[in-house]
Structure 1
Amino acid sequence: MPAPLISPAERNYIEQGVEQDCRADGRARLEYRHVVLESGLLSQASGSARCRLGESDVLVGVKVEIGQVESAKPKQGRVVCNVECSPSASQQFEGRGADDLNNSLTLAMDRLFNGSQSGLDLESLCIIPDQQCWVIYIDAMVMDAAGNLLDCIIMTARAALYNTRIPKTEIEDLGDGEFEFEVIDDVDDAEPIKGWENLPISVTLYKIGQRYIIDPTILEELCSQVTLTVGVNKQGLVCGIKKGQTGSIEPSLLNEMIGTATTLAKPLIERMDSKLVSDENKILEKKKLGQHVETLGFFASVI
């Protein structure tokens, strides 16, 4: 399947709109499309979330399992990332058309979520040093591709990790360096991932002409000469930078783009966290109400 094409007239129209700060869909250069974020959708997963950014649609499931500690990091747990673009998301993804994109998106997510820059307390995931640890598997499925996939995936993964719970373990020292552990299956005792609140999001800026935009559509992506992806956490600290495509960025413009990314990321993270906390509180209230109804039903049957 050939790559999507754009005519010279369409390219010129988009470039002029970006220059005038009025894009084809009416947005300003630094304006996001409508964001819909949901969490806790998959009952069989340790955590899950779905994000719709404009027409782009991403579902992320997190599974927590016990695995072997890496020899290079004997006192830390691990994060394993994987991104799959559904063949139904775009004609370009039919057959093996999405392989390169899957690998690129997986690598980008792994670079942001693995290591100290992620903010996750990986040491808290270690069960027995040099032996066993919790492994966090993050699987992202792109169900509809309409531009700015990486930012949408990172936002969804962050929400899914907020929703993730890790079972408690009881460790017994048998002596002579031998240990045993037992996993407590009680859901109420499960704990959130330590440090999730420090997880960054990514803000990708696309240079079109002499200006740059955020959250592009597919056609706007085709007009971009170079991209700059900046990972930013809730404190406004830069956690990673990645340049894409073959174009160049002047040093002064590079500093401006990084500053723009940090400025945009902080309020977005605050709104996301507020939404996630609000959704969790609603779920807890429903559970309490359900327990109350069951209790009333029990006493009514006794009477």
Structure 2
Amino acid sequence: MISVSERDYITKGVDVSIRADGRSRLDFRELVLETGMITQASGSCRVTLDGGTDILVGVKVEVGSIEPEVEAEEADILEDMEQMDQDDGITMVKDKDRGRIICNVECSPSATRIFEPRDIEDMCNEYSQFMNRVLNGSHGGVDLKALCIIPGSTCWILNIDVLVLDYGGNLLDAIFMATRGALHNTRIPRATVEQSDGRVEFDIADEETEIIRGWEDVPLCVSLNKIGYRHIVDAAPLEELCSSARLTVAVNRRGNLCALQKGGHGGIEPSLLAEMVQTAKQIGQTLLKRQDAALREEEERIAAGKDPIGFGAASRH
């Protein structure tokens, strides 16, 4: 899919911090975010990166049991995921007074023309598992205790459905950007709990809603691709093909590292790894501040009685 001359051109350009589209190594492409795109969802957000990547995220809120019954095969899968979480150093919450988040990533046919069907399935599974581990973990941001309705029995479940509409590189960063925007846009019906005759019952209001507590602490991802002896952010498709390794770093607004995931077949030297993590923290903080500013701007527009038309933000580092 990429010739030797193209690979050499991209690699040498990255070495001198001049990329094919004119950006430097640490420049993000311009991005556009729009919230409230899906009327039937509890919250939604669409993120488009200049160059093709287009992500739509919808959040659907439903009432469910805190410990759902699972089949034997599903139980084995959950056990394997718990072991993976322990290996990754991510603490999963399993208390009986917390809700949960279920993430699912899918690709539309128009976004998968350059992929093999098996590669698409593997990529969607990888991203879904990564999102589930991060958002349900101790550093996921969302206050899972606030999603509990009746401890040990009933809770709110946040179903986060991600649809990749178009592919232009750097999918995971755009997915987390759209997910955070969708959680900000999500409203949960207010639930009241009453105890009568020794039984605990709850009632859900028809019109009163609440925001998701902790959405502002949901991290964003910054993916850094190693090309030659250098690394870049927000890689385009051809740059991803030239990459020997990829490091994805999840950072929240406090500057804390929430997750790390390494991809690709190549290795990353320890000194370069530390540099990449530090770069991701700085860029992640910049992206978070710009997204929060844009979200506040849209809220002010709605409060002033103007139609929400989405918002754009140039995300140059």
TM-score by length of 1: 0.90
Offset of 1:109 from its aligned partner?
Answer: 1.5
Instruction: Flag structure 2 segments of 5+ consecutive residues without an equivalent.
Output: 69-93, 308-317
Higher relative contact order (CA 8 A, sep 6+): 2
Offset of 1:286 from its aligned partner?
Answer: 2.0
Amino acid in the other structure paired with 1:61 = G
Amino acid in the other structure paired with 2:293 = S
* Candidates 205, 217, 220, aligned match of 1:184: 205
Q: What are the superposed Cα offsets for residues 224-265 of structure 1, whole Å, 9 maximum, x if unpaired? A: 001100000011110011111121111111111100000111
Amino acid in the other structure paired with 2:133 = R
Task: Report the more deviating stretch, 139-148 or 274-283.
Answer: 274-283
Matched, 1:38 2:34: yes
Correspondence for 2:123: 101
- Distance in 1, matches of 2:255 and 2:37, equals 29
> Runs of 4+ in structure 1 displaced over 4 angstroms?
93-97
Correspondence for 1:14: 10
8 Å contact 2:142–2:215 — kept in the other structure?
yes
8 Å contact 2:183–2:215 — kept in the other structure?
yes
Matched, 1:83 2:85: no
- Distance in 2, matches of 1:142 and 1:25, equals 23
Correspondence for 2:67: 70
Correspondence for 1:147: 169
Matched, 1:270 2:289: yes
Offset of 1:85 from its aligned partner?
Answer: 0.6
Identity, % of aligned positions: 49
User: Helix, strand or coil: the match of 1:221?
Assistant: helix
Offset of 1:10 from its aligned partner?
Answer: 0.5
- Distance in 2, matches of 1:81 and 1:138, equals 5
- Distance in 2, matches of 1:270 and 1:79, equals 25
Correspondence for 1:295: none
Offset of 1:13 from its aligned partner?
Answer: 0.3
User: Helix, strand or coil: the match of 2:46?
Assistant: strand
Amino acid in the other structure paired with 1:238 = L
Amino acid in the other structure paired with 1:200 = P
Q: CA RMSD in A?
A: 1.5
Matched, 1:130 2:149: no
- Distance in 2, matches of 1:70 and 1:244, equals 32
Correspondence for 2:279: 260
Matched, 1:56 2:78: no
- Distance in 1, matches of 2:303 and 2:137, equals 32
Q: What are the superposed Cα offsets for residues 254-278 of structure 1, whole Å, 9 maximum, x if unpaired? A: 1111000001111210110111121
Matched, 1:166 2:162: no
* Candidates 190, 214, 225, aligned match of 2:244: 225
Offset of 1:107 from its aligned partner?
Answer: 1.2
- Distance in 2, matches of 1:133 and 1:93, equals 38
User: Helix, strand or coil: the match of 2:246?
Assistant: strand
Task: Report the more deviating stretch, 165-174 or 11-20.
Answer: 165-174
Matched, 1:156 2:178: yes
8 Å contact 2:112–2:120 — kept in the other structure?
no
Q: Which has the larger radius of gyration?
A: 1
Offset of 1:102 from its aligned partner?
Answer: 1.1
Aligned pairs for 1:272-287 (under 5 A) are 272-286=291-305
Offset of 1:90 from its aligned partner?
Answer: 2.9
Offset of 1:93 from its aligned partner?
Answer: 5.1
8 Å contact 1:60–1:157 — kept in the other structure?
yes
In structure 2, do the counterparts of structure 1 residues 262 and 170 end up closer, same or farther at CA, with 3 Å as the change threshold? same
- Distance in 2, matches of 1:169 and 1:52, equals 35
Amino acid in the other structure paired with 1:62 = V
User: Helix, strand or coil: the match of 1:118?
Assistant: coil
- Distance in 2, matches of 1:98 and 1:202, equals 20
* Candidates 243, 265, 269, aligned match of 2:262: 243
User: Helix, strand or coil: the match of 2:305?
Assistant: helix
- Distance in 1, matches of 2:238 and 2:119, equals 19
Offset of 1:280 from its aligned partner?
Answer: 2.0
8 Å contact 1:48–1:159 — kept in the other structure?
yes
Offset of 1:70 from its aligned partner?
Answer: 2.4
Amino acid in the other structure paired with 2:95 = K
Amino acid in the other structure paired with 1:56 = T
Offset of 1:150 from its aligned partner?
Answer: 0.4
